[in-house]
Structure 1
Amino acid sequence: MKITRLFNDFFHNEKSSGLILICCTVLSLILSNTGGDGWLHFWHTDLGGESVEYWINDGLMTIFFLLVGLELEREVYIGELSDIKDATLPIFGAWGGMLIPAAIFVAVNFGLPSQRGAGIPMATDIAFALAILSLLGKRVPTSLKVFLTALAVIDDLGAILLIAIFYSNDISLVNLGIALAIFGGLLALNRLKVRNLIPYLLGGVAMWWFMLHSGVHATITGVLLAFAIPFGNGDEKSTSYILQDFLHKPVAFLILPLFALANTAIPIHGSLSETLRQPYSIGIALGLVVGKPLGIGLFSYIACKLGICKLPGDISWKAIIGVGALGGIGFTMSIFITLLAFDDGETIGHAKLVILLSSLLAAILGFSMLRLILTKEVVETDG
């Protein structure tokens, strides 16, 4: 399988970002539980009428979603999702990886207020997942890297749609209409072949402000803006490529680490066993650790058996299950959806902790499975 330089750059950038996120998470947890209240209070410091944490989650994360949108756009136009034949397997895998975990969560929380958190175990953190996969080195087949990357990109799209449809409240039609009108104007600039980034970025800021006051989560602005920015033929001179290339490092090495530091500032109080017995905790854990590999593996297998797609020759079904386990690393997206799904601070804190523990378990399971499977397959191939 031919792999593009852009994919290689994307893979290695996400790998580095994931490793940094791991370090930030560990640091934040340590400071939250050993450094007194100063670390916790810092993220709630007032800044322009809102907390530091708010500006990170509703402001800076819009830039993260802009990058996600640009990457998704590239994958759809000229990347791994541009050929429907190649994209079908990860598409089905992603559907299974979203539907089965959500179904498990709903089954455990049916009829309870916590049922609103069904979207939490549907998400995959692409940076973390690729970082863990990268630890396996050269034994990982390229097709397996592509499968996980495409799966996570589709998963991101699912999370974006989820946020837009189910986690938006008290819609202001006036503000939403103005935001969409600005989006329409940016699309018109695209059609008029305006390539200068400045009007798109200014329009994006205005669209963000009105979206913020519309009831639809403001981070959706980033994705809409991405699809308004001219893609052209996607080469290094295209407006989309230039912005995507520029954003990679600030997002990977500033925005996501800040998000990790702010949102894993979790003081661990009370009984951990009591926390883990909560229905939402059970739903999150089972959804991420069991639902993800089950859904990804089952839907991929069914799609192949129906002749809709086929498994690449250099990977096995066992490897697909291993990658499915890595799909259970929710972290960034799962935490983000938690903030939208729940209002109670204690519930949010407990859910974050369960997400971290479940993601850690999923990472260990996925890494261990793939290390055993891929090592055995390499030995058998050499033999």
Structure 2
Amino acid sequence: MLQNQHTTNRHYSYVKDKLQNGLQRFITHESFGGILLVFCVVFAMVVANSQYADLYFWFQKFEFGFFVGSLELKIEVLHFVNDILMSFFFLLVGLEMKREMLYGELAGFKKVSFSIMAAIGGIILPIMLYLYFTAGTPYEKGFGVAMSTDTAFALGVILLLGNRVPKIVKVFLVTLAVADDLGAISVIAIFYSDQIHMFWIGVSVCIAGILGYCNYRDTKYLSLYFFFGILLWISVYLSGIHVTIAAVILALTIPGRTQRVNRKYFRNMLSEFDRIKMITNNGADILQIQENDNLGFWQSTWRNIKNFMTSTPSARNVNMAKASELVYILDSIGIYARYAQNPLLRLEHALQPISAYFIVPLFAFINAGVHIDSYMDLGINGVMFGTILGLVIGKPLGIFLFAYLGEKCNLSVRPEGLGNFHIFAVGAISGVGFTMSIFVANLAYGEDIAAINLSKISILIASSIAVVFGIILMGLATRPSRKTKLEEHTEV
């Protein structure tokens, strides 16, 4: 029994290490993706205010698709990027949330509550500031713009400071951003959905139930999840709820713990290993092959020619049959090993580079371009002041205050090594809105192009201020103390 418990603990440790390595890969991809994101935003602004501006806005509205007889399906590039490609981005966000809740810093109520409390503060206070400037106007519905964090860009800012930033600070930023994204997705689903159709909501619930059953049965086939995920996306779209929620539901049904199926594949692999032992005389034939490998080129060639000339046809047939069977067995082991992999890890590992290097930068380029001219009204009912102050002031204050209150009220436990200055600096960096804020702006203001453009300008200004503010604060928070410098000098 103790041996079984030790084996279980070792298996859990292995899976946890794999998921933590996944977190490290995510940080690496997202950090570089943040730098690429900056380039795309700047490039979009330059193009939108150059002689190629007409071409840029024409490309946004360009329609493509296909038709079969009288049936015609087409979609604008802007909607294709925002509704379809960004669904993969939100799928990745959902996978990150599930991974953190299963094995990461969000595992356990006290641990998860620290990041969640901080994220709640980073949502409530910016919304209050935005509504203070826009209450009673048609633009108050854009409150979601001031509460969002761009994880990729925020991690890109952290990357600029190099190894001086402790790992716990990076992990806190990621978990905070994940909790923040969960809040943003909830706001999008509740406040920025169109007219609700109950029939399609019922269909969506049924499809989600099928996905949940697949998860319960430890189904390993990602193609099956994607098939039902597409059906779920269509039904959620037709229901009037924003499709981001479909991507998150799909992510939460992807298996992250597959012990039942893994035991089956491990048993199959063990039986294949037994067959290898039987075919190779408990490995004696393999050892003999290794001895032959140690011979020189000419000796090995002469031995092979001699064996070929002196061996009987039946012996050669036996050797060929044995070699073929060994290849078949190794092939089977490879298939079992592939199927035994964690589906959540496989999918997240595949989506990370696609999201960081293609989807998010393309979204930024398509959406960030704003044509600035003298006719732009910068005082549209407090949109600019609400957005900038919400992201730059409300975000860090809300995160710090709620994290502090959660700890003092014994609702959460602060991660070891994370100081107050670190929390406030992370809050400042979280004021970088970009992707999520622009996404919400497009939903909130609908066809009001003037409000969307002003909101985008406000987001760019606020994010730029947040970057500078965050770098200064994080630099101060992570600078070596006098005691550390003295110890380093003494060691030298």
Q: TM-score range by the shorter chain?
A: over 0.9
The match for 2:155 among 123, 130, 138 is: 130
- Structure 2: how far apart are the matches of 1:192 and 1:213? 29
Report SS of the residue matched to 2:239. coil
The match for 1:299 among 399, 402, 419 is: 402
Q: Which residue does the alignment assign to 1:58?
A: 83
Residue 249 (structure 1) shift: 1.1
- Residue 212 (structure 2) pairs with residue 187 (structure 1): yes
The match for 1:119 among 144, 155, 160 is: 144
Q: Which residue does the alignment assign to 1:250?
A: 354
Report SS of the residue matched to 2:351. helix
Q: Which residue does the alignment assign to 1:265?
A: 369
Residue 380 (structure 1) shift: 4.4
Q: Which residue does the alignment assign to 1:237?
A: 341
Q: What is the TM-score normalised by the length of structure 2?
A: 0.74
- Residue 63 (structure 2) pairs with residue 46 (structure 1): yes
Code of the aligned partner of 1:368: I
- Structure 2: how far apart are the matches of 1:227 and 1:246? 17
Closer, same or farther: CA 188–121 of 1 in aligned 2, 3 Å: same
Q: What's the CA shift string for 1:83-108, capped at 9, x where partnerless?
A: 33333322211111011001111111
Code of the aligned partner of 2:169: L
The answer to whether the 8 Å contact 1:323/1:366 transfers is yes
Residue 31 (structure 1) shift: 0.7
- Structure 1: how far apart are the matches of 2:224 and 2:427? 41
- Residue 411 (structure 2) pairs with residue 308 (structure 1): yes
- Residue 50 (structure 2) pairs with residue 25 (structure 1): no
Moved more, 274-283 or 211-220: 274-283
Code of the aligned partner of 1:255: I
- Structure 2: how far apart are the matches of 1:288 and 1:17? 21
Report SS of the residue matched to 2:355. helix
Closer, same or farther: CA 108–36 of 1 in aligned 2, 3 Å: closer
Closer, same or farther: CA 181–311 of 1 in aligned 2, 3 Å: closer
Q: What's the CA shift string for 1:46-91, capped at 9, x where partnerless?
A: 1233210100001111111111111111111111100333333222
Closer, same or farther: CA 191–310 of 1 in aligned 2, 3 Å: closer
The match for 2:478 among 368, 374, 380 is: 374
Report SS of the residue matched to 1:226. helix
> Alignment identity in percent?
37
* Mapping for residues 354-365 of structure 1, pairs under 5 Å: 354-365=458-469
- Residue 347 (structure 2) pairs with residue 330 (structure 1): no
- Structure 2: how far apart are the matches of 1:296 and 1:52? 36
Residue 24 (structure 1) shift: 0.7
Q: Which residue does the alignment assign to 1:8?
A: 24
- Root-mean-square deviation (Å): 1.9
The match for 1:144 among 130, 146, 169 is: 169
Q: What's the CA shift string for 1:138-164, capped at 9, x where partnerless?
A: 111122111111110100100111111
Report SS of the residue matched to 2:456. helix
Moved more, 352-361 or 311-320: 311-320
Q: Which residue does the alignment assign to 1:69?
A: 94
Report SS of the residue matched to 2:61. coil
Q: Which residue does the alignment assign to 1:204?
A: 229
The answer to whether the 8 Å contact 2:35/2:156 transfers is yes
Closer, same or farther: CA 215–110 of 1 in aligned 2, 3 Å: same
Closer, same or farther: CA 82–277 of 1 in aligned 2, 3 Å: same
- Structure 2: how far apart are the matches of 1:8 and 1:27? 29
Residue 205 (structure 1) shift: 1.0
Gaps of 5+ in 1: none
Q: Which residue does the alignment assign to 1:162?
A: 187
The match for 2:388 among 274, 285, 293 is: 285
The match for 1:317 among 420, 434, 439 is: 420
Residue 38 (structure 1) shift: 0.6
The answer to whether the 8 Å contact 2:126/2:389 transfers is yes
Residue 316 (structure 1) shift: 2.7
Q: Which residue does the alignment assign to 1:82?
A: 107
Q: What is the TM-score normalised by the length of structure 1?
A: 0.94
Code of the aligned partner of 2:345: Y
* Mapping for residues 340-359 of structure 1, pairs under 5 Å: 340-343=443-446, 344-359=448-463
Closer, same or farther: CA 5–277 of 1 in aligned 2, 3 Å: same
The size of the alignment, in residue pairs, is 380
Q: What's the CA shift string for 1:296-352, capped at 9, x where partnerless?
A: 111112222333345445343222211110010011111111111112011111101
The answer to whether the 8 Å contact 1:322/1:366 transfers is yes
Residue 170 (structure 1) shift: 0.6
The answer to whether the 8 Å contact 2:391/2:431 transfers is yes
Residue 201 (structure 1) shift: 0.5
Code of the aligned partner of 1:361: I
- Structure 1: how far apart are the matches of 2:421 and 2:413? 15
The answer to whether the 8 Å contact 1:59/1:219 transfers is no
Moved more, 258-267 or 366-375: 366-375
- Structure 1: how far apart are the matches of 2:464 and 2:357? 21
Code of the aligned partner of 1:263: N
Code of the aligned partner of 2:88: I
- Structure 2: how far apart are the matches of 1:152 and 1:253? 19
Code of the aligned partner of 1:329: V
Q: Which has the larger radius of gyration?
A: 2
Closer, same or farther: CA 36–118 of 1 in aligned 2, 3 Å: closer
